[in-house]
Structures are given as C-alpha cells and as structure tokens.
Amino acid sequence: MAILISNRDEGYILEFIFRRDTDERIPYTDSSLDYLPEIVRKNFIDKQWQFNPINLQRGQVHLEIQDDAVLPVLSEEEVGKARKEQERDMFGSPERAILDLVQNLKHPNIVEFLGSYTYRRSFNLLFRLATQDLKAFLHQENSSIMAPHAIYRNMFGVAEALSQIHNFSLQDDLGNISRIGYHHDLRPANILVDIDRKLFMLSDFGLSRMKSDDETSKTKLHGGQDDYLGPEAFDYQACVNGDVRRSLDVWAFGCILSEIATFLEGKSVKDFREKRRATHDGLFPMTDHSFHLNKGIRPAVVEWLSVLTTAPRDPLMVQLVSQIREIMDPHASRRPRMSDVALDLRNLALHSSVAAVDNCFRDLMSPDSRGLTAKHRILHVIEYKRFEAWWSVYASLHQAVGREISGDLLRYVTELYEALNRGRDDGMSQSMEGLPYDCLHAIDQLCKPLPKTSSDECQARWIQNVCEIEDLDTLQQIRAMAMPVRYRWVGVGAAMRHMSMAISASIQYGQKSRYMDAGLIEVGESDSQLVHESKTIGYLTRDGLTETVLIEWKTYDASWKGHEMRLGKIMDDLVNLLDPDVTPRLGTAQHRIPNCLGYFHQPHNYRFGFIYTIEAQRMRHDHRLVSLNSFLQVMTEQNNGDYEQTDLGDYFLLAKELTT
C-alpha cells in the first residue's frame, strides 16, 4: 500500500486487497504483477526495495544485493575495521580467497565472521563488532584495564590463530591443489579488543591471500603498514617491495609483542615509537619508525628490550623478551614457525594464569575475606593445596611430556580462575563438598592428564601440602570436618599433623620440670599388686594425703650414665604429653588414657617411674576402684571361668575407642 501511495498509484490498492497480495510476498516479480498496467508494474518493482530492507542472516555467504535495496543499517561509523569493504566490479578470486579463509577459520581469537555480501559494486565482509583495537588499547595510560594473565592468554591466542591461518589448507574442486594462508598486514590496528570479554581478535584480512603450499615459495608484497614489516619487505637500495613468506607475519607479531611487553611494564608505547625514529641508508634515504634498520634490528629496539628486563615488575618479562628476540631475527629463514611461537607463549600464559589462580585462592582464604563461611574457607584451603600439588608435579615433568599433555590446561586454569571469582556470590551453585561445581571440575581436569606415576605423586603431595599447614586452628577445623570421599586421606593426614603439632606445643609450653622426689612414693611389693613387670601399684604421699597410683617403669641402658639431665628433659616432655592439663584430649581419649602426674628416678636400677592417677579412672556409674589387670590377663581368666563372660560387642567397642 505504501509503495502504491509513494508512486501515486493509489487507485490500484483495492486490486491488491482483492487478490490478497500483502507485504509478505515482497519482492514481487514482473510476472506476479501481470494484472497491472506495464508502467505501474515497472514503478512498483523498482520502488519495492526501498520498502523492504534486506534481512542479513548470520553465516549468510555470499549475498548479491540490488543497488536500490535498503540495508538494515541505521547509521555508519568507522570503528576499527568491523566491516571490510572493497571496491570490485565482481566477486573475483581475491575476494574468494579472503572469503575461503574467514569462512573456514574458527578460533576465539579470530574475529567472528557473520556473513558477506556485494552491494553497489562493493564486496563486504561482516564481522562481530569490537569498539577498540589493540593500538588504542596499548596507547592508553591505564595498564590495569586488563590483568596480565589475560593479556598473556591473548598473546598466545593470537599466535595460535596466526598459526591456524598459516596452516590452513584448501583444495580445489578436483581435490589436488593445496593452498595455505597468510595475513601480511599484521599490526595493532588490525587486532580488535573486546574489553568486556577480555579478548584480542585478529581481523582485517584485506591483504590475506591463499598461495601454493610450498615453504620456499615467495609472494611479492603489495602493501601494508611500514612500522611492522620485516627487513625483507622492502629493498631500500632499489626502492622496491621485496619477496616475502609467512615469516613476515612472525616478524610483525614479534614487533607487536614488544609493544605489549612495554604496556605490561607500565611504560609508554608512544615513547617507544618515538625512540625508533631513524633513517635507512640507500639512494633514497627514508625515515620511519620500523623495528629494523639497515637489515638488522634497530639499536633503539635492542636498548628498549634491555630496559624492559632490568628489574621488571612482571615476573615473566625476562622469558617474554627472550622469545621476542628469537622471533625478531632479521634473517627470515631463521625465524621460528608460528606454531612454535604459540607453544612457547602457551607456556608463559599458563604460568601467568597459575599465578593469578594462586592469588585468587589466597584472597579467598584470607581471614579478612567476606562472603565465605568458615567451612567454605577451609574447603578452599584444601583445594588450594591440591592445586599447588598439581602445579609442582606438572612443572617437574620432562618438557616433552609437559607439552604433550598441556593442550587444555590453560583453558581449565582459566575456568578455575573464573569459578573462584564467581564463587564469591552467595547465590553460586555449590557441590556436595561446598565448592562451586565448575571449580572442582576444573581442578579434576587439570589432574586428569597426568601420567599414572605423576598422578600418584600428585595425590601424595596434596596430603603432604595439607600436613605442612602451620596453623593449628586450621588443622583442627580440617580434622573436625565431616569429610567427603574426595578428602578422606587428606583428612587423615591433617588429623595426624594436628596431633603432632599439639604434642609439640604441649612439650614446648608445658611445665619445665615434672620430677618428683622418690621419697614421696612407696612402691608396692605384693604379688597381688603387680600388674605387669613394667607396671606396679604404688602409693603417693603429698600434702599429708596418700593415694593409690599406677607406676610405669621406663628403663635405660647403663651407657646413659652421666647424661641424667638430658634424660630428665625427655622424661619432662613425656609427662607433659600424658598430662591432660598440658595436652588436651578429645572424645574417648579423655577416659582411655590415664593421667600422668610426674616421674621419679631410681638410678641404682637404671629406671624412671611414671606416676599415674587411679582414682580418676572410674566407670561412669560405678564408684568402685577400677581393677587393674592386663587385657590379655582378663581374656585368659575369662576363658578359665573366673570372670563373668563379657559381651562380644564390648570388645569391639573397646577396640574402636582404643583405635580412636
């Protein structure tokens, strides 16, 4: 209806209504409007495109759009190179090469390809929008806008994306011609930055091409930005472009890495560029800001890289600069493959991400951390110790083995970092163990690819790491927790460590002398009072009162004669260990271990006597004195019928409590 009104053909509106021809049938063809006069039909077909905007679909390749069609664009603003547009008379082989490349490459660090179309003699590629490029990102003063580990991860990601381009192969329709890709216009302005997703994305494939899959084949450079081109790209003597290979991308990437390293160290990328200003020798001297001079690395670049490694704030800067120097070899044939560059950067990214996870764990475990219960904080401690164990075992692997299993490690370390940060929210879904599911899953996946022997070592180190905790309260909380199966052996180790530290503390802070004068003790001599050859009933008199005690004898060799003071120190420590006022007891230990009062010395018999109270060892509902007999003696006498037979369940209960 609007089209007819615009053409001043309102008289035909009823004809359309009668035939039920609606907007859904747009675009109309000449034959479908044969009921209209020729001039009305022609005007309608020509004008209909203005009233029917093109619907561009994700992944649509390749759409030919009529010149008078309306694109679904409200406004146009150049933001980096979000839309790649080239003037062409037709959709030719150069465009097809670019389209083949971007359509088939799928990588997080390659800008997402949305579709392509030709409109008004222009060939267009549509990509996901990013509001900033790496050039603008590196020239800002706030270097904290993205964490170092995220930048390292993106350096690796872009290197891996370039490697994918270099190794991208395509066959013709006959299946017998293989071709490979390259970029040849690599520079910060062609790397987009998505701040929200913390992502660098390779873009602008205007100079990208497909060429014969031959390492020795060369391509004449047709354009590009001077700063990031290698020495082979231009002959300053002849003033002509040179022949280049994929190694040109490697050089350019090294230049970009040097600027990223500058940013990581909080230095000015603009100042770095100004220091590179120099003039090339030749018939036509040229001044620029490139990274090479007279077929070698520019001296200002060498000096700048040296400054970056002098007391760097980034712990990985020395390794990063070392890799940059290897990449920026003036001789193109000696530069590493991009796939090897990616492997080395993955290792640096993994180290940086591990450090970030380590810091995140420490923040969560801090007593000042908010949003975590005491139980969850302890669980984070345990998982952190496992993470430490994994990293120490992985770092000790042979380099070849480490590389072989390192494929997804960076991804899982990144997932762990993100899970720990999300875990601060109270609404986060928790597992049975009390930690986020994706946190536990990420740690499990990190440990999974370890070889069998290394996996066993990781488990042992995990227990060892927990047992090396120095804080007694933390160990006590681990010991007291209801342990899931995941932490069974860790809990056992923590309990043993807690007991050991408690004993050490008791010995350290207990009474310095537990010696008692032998004149206060009367040793019983009656056979009926003899419990065992190492134990005797006796009587302790102090403050005018006498009480029955158990004496346990500890003999020593005559060779210790003259070392009584040293022996006395050992005896003091043992008494402090067995005195509940010095070493507190938990659970059944309160009733199953006698209380030690002190010790006395019989030097003529080469023995010490430890004194235990008996009155305190009473049955719960029986005020009679506990009968002192060895367990073996009781069992023997029961078999002889001298005692009432004890219920079998009591033996199991006794065994359980003694074990505890």
- DSSP string for residues in 422-475: HTTSTTS-B-TTSSBHHHHHHHHHHHTTS-HHHHHHHHHHHHHHHHT---HHHH
Phi-psi map region of 638: left, alpha, beta (phi>0 left; psi -120 to 50 alpha) = alpha
Hey, is 17 helix, strand or coil? helix
Which fold, 80-212?
Transferase(Phosphotransferase); domain 1 (1.10.510)
Confidence of residue 143 (pLDDT cuts 50, 70, 90): confident
Residue 432 has pLDDT above 50, yes or no: no
List Cβ neighbours of 42 (8 Å cut-off, separation of 6 or more).
none
Lowest mean pLDDT among 12-26, 370-384, 521-535: 521-535
Residue 52 CB neighbours (<10 A): 15
Which fold, 518-628?
Phosphorylase Kinase; domain 1 (3.30.200)
Mean predicted confidence (pLDDT) in 131-156: 93
Task: Say what the pLDDT of residue 371 is.
Answer: 66
**Residue type (1 letter), 531:** V
Hey, is 195 helix, strand or coil? coil
> Tell me, what DSSP letter sits at residue 53?
-
The residues pairing with 546 across neighbouring beta strands, listed in sequence order, are 541
Mean predicted confidence (pLDDT) in 206-220: 48
Average pLDDT score over the chain = 80
The answer to whether 506 and 576 are in contact (CB under 8 A) is: yes
Task: Say what the pLDDT of residue 620 is.
Answer: 43
Confidence of residue 224 (pLDDT cuts 50, 70, 90): very low
Cα–Cα nearest to 335, from 232, 405, 404: 232
* Chain centre to alpha carbon of residue 556: 57
What is the model's pTM? Answer: 0.70
Q: How far apart are CA 121 and CA 88, in angstroms?
A: 6
Q: How far apart are CA 310 and CA 306, in angstroms?
A: 7
**Residue type (1 letter), 72:** P
Mean predicted confidence (pLDDT) in 561-586: 81
What are the boundaries of each domain within the chain? 2-79, 80-212, 219-332, 366-509, 518-628
Hey, is 125 helix, strand or coil? strand
Taking only the tens place, the pLDDT of each residue in 315-369 is: 999 999 999 999 999 999 999 999 999 999 999 999 999 999 999 999 888 877 7
Q: How far apart are CA 131 and CA 365, in angstroms?
A: 37
Start-to-end C-alpha separation, the chain: 90
Burial 153-169 (b: 16+ CB within 10 A, else e): bbbbbbbbbbbbbbebe
Q: How far apart are CA 159 and CA 177, in angstroms?
A: 26
The widest CA-to-CA distance across the chain, in whole angstroms, is 137
Residue 374 has pLDDT above 70, yes or no: yes
Residue 490 has pLDDT above 90, yes or no: no
Residue 407 CB neighbours (<10 A): 10
* Chain centre to alpha carbon of residue 525: 71
Residue 600 CB neighbours (<10 A): 22
The full DSSP string for 617-628 is --BTTB-SPPP-
Mean predicted confidence (pLDDT) in 365-384: 82
Degrees (nearest 5) of the Cα angle 283, 284, 287?
A: 130
Residue 24 has pLDDT above 80, yes or no: no
Lowest mean pLDDT among 78-82, 213-217, 453-457: 213-217
The answer to whether 314 and 268 are in contact (CB under 8 A) is: no
Q: How far apart are CA 112 and CA 123, in angstroms?
A: 18
Q: How far apart are CA 361 and CA 366, in angstroms?
A: 9
* Chain centre to alpha carbon of residue 213: 37
Task: Say what the pLDDT of residue 527 is.
Answer: 47
Task: Say what the pLDDT of residue 581 is.
Answer: 81
Tell me the C-alpha to C-alpha distance, in Å, between residue 269 and each of 21, 246, 276, 419. 62, 26, 11, 34
The answer to whether 71 and 130 are in contact (CB under 8 A) is: no
Tell me the C-alpha to C-alpha distance, in Å, between residue 470 and each of 294, 478, 500, 504, 515. 61, 13, 11, 12, 31
